[in-house]
Amino acid sequence: MGRHTCLYDLHLALGARMVDFNGWDMPVAYGSQIDEHHAVRRAAGVFDISHMCVVDLSGARTRELLAGLLANDVGRLSIAGRALYSCMLNDHAGVIDDLIAYYLAEDYFRLVVNAGTRDKDMAWIGAHAERLDVKLLERRDLAMLAVQGPQARERCATLLNSEAACGAMALKPFFGAQLGEWFIARTGYTGEDGFEIMLPAGEAGSVWQRLNAAGVRSCGLGARDTLRLEAGLNLYGNDMDEQTQPFESGLGWTVAFEPPGRDFIGRAALEQIRAHGSERKQVGLVLDERAVLRSHQRVLVEGGGEGEVTSGTFSPMLGRSIGLARVPAATADAVQVEVRGRLLPARVVQPPFVRHGRVLIAT
């Protein structure tokens, strides 16, 4: 199970249904998954994301290291606390992981990487860091909570002293700050506003209970998945992996080809793909019939060609099934999806489906 036993015991005490997730015992739901989903869209919910890997990088050549490791341009980070979302690629432009990098000082950056890729990420980053004398420190002393929803920031602020509360409420989107012993970032994975909080592991249980007392609902992995899919956000291992490249995973916007002299890993392969055009693309799907889209379902495209659903679920906001799919680049506005042996029509749409509590596509 996960290392933060104070949270594990609390999840059990709150009646959570637990599942194994990349070696961690994680709460999938505390009651109604749909109620948890709506709590985040309408008010505020808290998620335990302590399984995520937080790693601090330090040394004079840290920026140089990240300029070569990340497809996005770490040169954009010049203000303390600013965050950057990026893919980390292999030589063939396959996605090793997607991550967030925080600029804390010129010789000090923080990365948050996925739980399931922790070991390979640490090995990959470590091998390149050693050559540049950059030190890696995995922050096993920290727990991580995500508090999300239109009322999340205000309710979090009630837990802080006045100075820290002012600092937290002043954060712009995709910025973070060390406020006392907590690192608070205005980031998230739900399509709603809110904070992701890194704090000493021993405090996590009491903070969770204080959030509950402030009206923040306990939420599990089930609601987190439906929320992120409504928001059109990728899940590593489903929507991208080392066999897929950013242009076919809806992540072309995270690739920075400027400045032209930055030779990041995977750039040469991406230049070739960009020159010839990606053969596949990511799209959103809406299924109007009563069925549920799931990963690995076959997608048939008019005129020939096939794709595959990479993520699918029932959307509580739309009241129907939605999904992300990787399909031939020429795919137009309608496809068929094979669901339990039946071919069902699906609409092709541009994600996100929902952001900030608003449905963004025609229903």
Alpha helices in 214-335 (DSSP H): 221-230, 267-276
User: Which strands form 182-185's sheet, in the order they lie side by side?
Assistant: 176-179, 182-185, 194-200, 142-148, 45-48, 217-218
Asked if residue 34 is part of any domain, the answer here is yes
In eight-state DSSP terms, residue 144 is E
Identify the pLDDT of residue 136.
Answer: 98
Please tell me what DSSP assigns to residue 70: B
pLDDT band at 363 (very low <50, low <70, confident <90, very high): confident
Q: What is the pLDDT of residues 219-243, one digit of tens each?
A: 999 999 999 999 999 999 999 999 9
Residue 59 lies in a domain: no
CA–CA separation, 31 and 47 (whole Å): 14
Q: pLDDT at position 4, please?
A: 55
Is the same domain home to 283 and 360? yes
Give residue 4's Cα distance to chain centre.
Answer: 21
- For residue 71, pLDDT beyond 70: yes
Q: Can you read off the two tokens belonging to residue 86?
A: 């990026």
> In this model, does residue 45 exceed pLDDT 90?
yes
The mean pLDDT of 87-96, rounded to a whole number, is 98
Total structural domains within the chain: 2
pLDDT in tens, 331-356: 999 999 999 999 999 999 999 999 99
CATH of the domain at 208: 3.30.1360.120
194 and 308 share a domain?
no
| Same domain (yes/no): 334, 201 | no
pLDDT above 50 for 43: yes
Amino acid 1: pLDDT = 42
Residue whose entry in the numeric block shows the structure tokens 């230049």 = 271
Query: Which pLDDT score, from 0 to 100, does residue 5 have?
Result: 60
Given pLDDT bands bounded at 50, 70 and 90, which one contains residue 3?
very low
- In-domain check, residue 69: no
In a domain, 211, yes or no: yes
Report pLDDT for 22: 77
For 98-130, write each residue's pLDDT tens digit.
999 999 999 999 999 999 999 999 999 999 999
Q: What is the CATH number of the domain that holds 361?
A: 2.40.30.110
Q: Is the bond preceding 259 in cis, omega lying within 30 degrees of 0?
A: yes
| Residues 225 and 298 reside in one and the same domain | no
Give residue 304's pLDDT. Answer: 79
* Cβ pair 295, 310 in contact under 8 A: yes
For tokens 């094979």, what's the residue? 338
Query: Which candidate, 360, 283, 288, places its Cα nearest to that of 323?
Result: 283
- End-to-end CA, the chain: 41
In this structure, are 177 and 301 located in the same domain? Answer: no
Are both 216 and 297 inside the same structural domain? no
DSSP 8-state class, residue 236 = B
Question: Are 196 and 314 part of one and the same domain?
Answer: no
Same domain, 192 and 314: no
46 and 219 Cβ atoms separated by less than 8 Å: yes
Cα separations in angstroms, 359 against 142, 173, 276, 354? 35, 21, 35, 4
Spatial distance between the Cα atoms of 101 and 173, rounded to a whole number of angstroms: 14
Range of the domain at 34: 5-49+140-230
**Phi, psi of 2, rounded to the nearest 5 degrees:** -65, 160
Q: Can you tell me the distance from the alpha carbon of 80 to that of 83, in angstroms, rounded to the nearest whole number?
A: 9
Report yes or no: 248 and 281 within 8 Å, Cβ to Cβ: yes
C-alpha separations of 212 from 159, 182, 355, 356 in Å = 11, 18, 24, 22
Q: 288 and 208 share a domain?
A: no
Q: Is there a domain that residue 257 lies in?
A: no
Q: In terms of domains, do 159 and 34 share one?
A: yes
Q: What is the mean pLDDT of residues 188-204?
A: 97
> Is 302 inside a domain boundary?
yes
Q: Is the pLDDT of residue 330 over 80?
A: yes
- Is residue 174 a part of any domain in this protein? yes
Confirm whether 235 is domain-assigned: no
Q: What is the mean pLDDT of the chain?
A: 96
Same domain, 316 and 212: no
